[in-house]
């Protein structure tokens, strides 16, 4: 077993070296083969392995004119404080590709600052994909606080809660919310949120300088439902009440108004930080999320947005 592990580690080392020679040093595959003493086919496979294993992070630094134009128009139309639009892949149905990388760059830029900040973090697939793109960093001057509970209904750690992954990656002080995502009753929620160990985390979340959150749709494959946080009957009740999307568990309608009761009176998440005093950035794209994104920017539930060309175009076309 140790031999296999060592062999796998050595192969990743070779892949990293080949990837560096190709993407950083600008070598051709023939040159890589000569340098490493391998065949051209092996060099090609190693470069591909470096990419598939996430050893290589590629960023395009040239601003794309149409993306810049869409970002400027979105910022003006919805009075947003930050907008970034990334290119769309017409052949992809992914709701993370492109915006996860852009979000990672924005998170990294803010964590590089020597001035201490409080960064709020939501949860979800897009945010998890973004955190996985972050390079290892040493940021002891910053505080990272989770807005959401990290316990699933079965008592396990919530899979898409990213606070621990982020803390490990950037070595910042982390403040998790050791609570269920949705409590079993309003009374339990109130009791949990009033615990002495929870109050400082809630206060810190309210003071966040910048917060990154996802927007989950409330369709048949709603993340809240698929991940087991709400039941099918609760999902249908939320839909019947007009719910179309959620941010850190809080469900809202097409006007951006919070749904009364049902699950909203049991959500253990912190309230969203002030959009007048701080930046709350949504990472969201795709047709299923479009109504929720539109409601969030219209109601100013968020004042920042990282999205893609197709979604930006659709938002601007909305009445």
Domain residue spans in the chain? 7-51, 62-315
How far apart (Å, rounded) are the C-alpha atoms in residues 295 and 305? 13
First-to-final CA distance of the chain: 61
Per residue in 10-45, pLDDT (tens digit) is 788 888 888 888 887 788 999 999 998 999 999 999
CATH numeric code, 7-51: 1.10.10
Domain 62-315 fold: Rossmann fold (3.40.50)
Task: Tell me whether domains 7-51 and 62-315 share a fold.
Answer: no
Answer yes or no: is pLDDT of 4 > 70.
Answer: no
Per residue in 244-286, pLDDT (tens digit) is 999 999 999 999 999 998 999 999 999 999 999 999 999 999 9
Report whether 188 contacts 159 (CB < 8 A).
no
Tell me the pLDDT of the chain averaged across its residues: 88
Angle at 174 between CA 171 and CA 179, to 5 degrees: 145
């Amino acid at each position: 077993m140790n031999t296999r592990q060592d062999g796998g580690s050595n192969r990743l080392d070779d892949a990293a070296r080949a990837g560096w020679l190709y993407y950083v040093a600008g070598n051709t595959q023939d040159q890589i083969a000569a340098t490493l003493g391998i065949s051209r086919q092996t060099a090609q496979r190693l470069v591909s392995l470096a990419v598939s294993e996430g050893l290589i992070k590629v960023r395009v630094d040239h601003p794309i004119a149409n993306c810049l134009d869409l970002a400027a128009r979105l910022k003006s139309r919805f009075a947003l404080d930050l907008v970034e639009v990334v290119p769309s892949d017409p052949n992809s149905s992914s709701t993370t590709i492109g915006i996860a990388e852009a979000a990672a760059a924005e998170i990294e830029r803010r964590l590089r600052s020597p001035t201490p900040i409080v960064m709020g973090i939501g949860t979800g697939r897009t945010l998890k994909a973004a955190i996985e793109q972050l390079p290892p960093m040493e940021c002891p001057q910053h505080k990272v606080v989770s807005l959401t509970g990290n316990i699933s209904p079965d008592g396990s750690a919530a899979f898409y809660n990213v606070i621990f992954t982020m803390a490990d990656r950037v070595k910042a002080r982390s403040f998790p919310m050791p609570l269920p995502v949705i409590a079993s009753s309003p009374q339990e929620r109130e009791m949990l949120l009033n615990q002495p160990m929870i109050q400082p985390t809630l206060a810190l979340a309210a003071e966040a300088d910048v917060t990154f959150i996802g927007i989950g749709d409330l369709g048949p494959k709603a993340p809240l439902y698929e991940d087991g946080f709400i039941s099918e009957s609760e999902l249908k009740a939320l839909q019947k009440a007009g719910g179309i999307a959620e941010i850190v568990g809080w469900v809202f309608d097409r006007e951006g108004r919070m749904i009364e009761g049902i699950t909203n009176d049991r959500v253990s998440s912190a309230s969203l930080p002030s959009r007048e005093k701080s930046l709350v950035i949504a990472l969201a794209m795709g047709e299923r999320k479009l109504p929720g994104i539109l409601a969030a920017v219209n109601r100013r539930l968020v004042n920042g947005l990282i999205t893609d060309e197709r979604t930006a175009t659709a938002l601007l076309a909305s009445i």
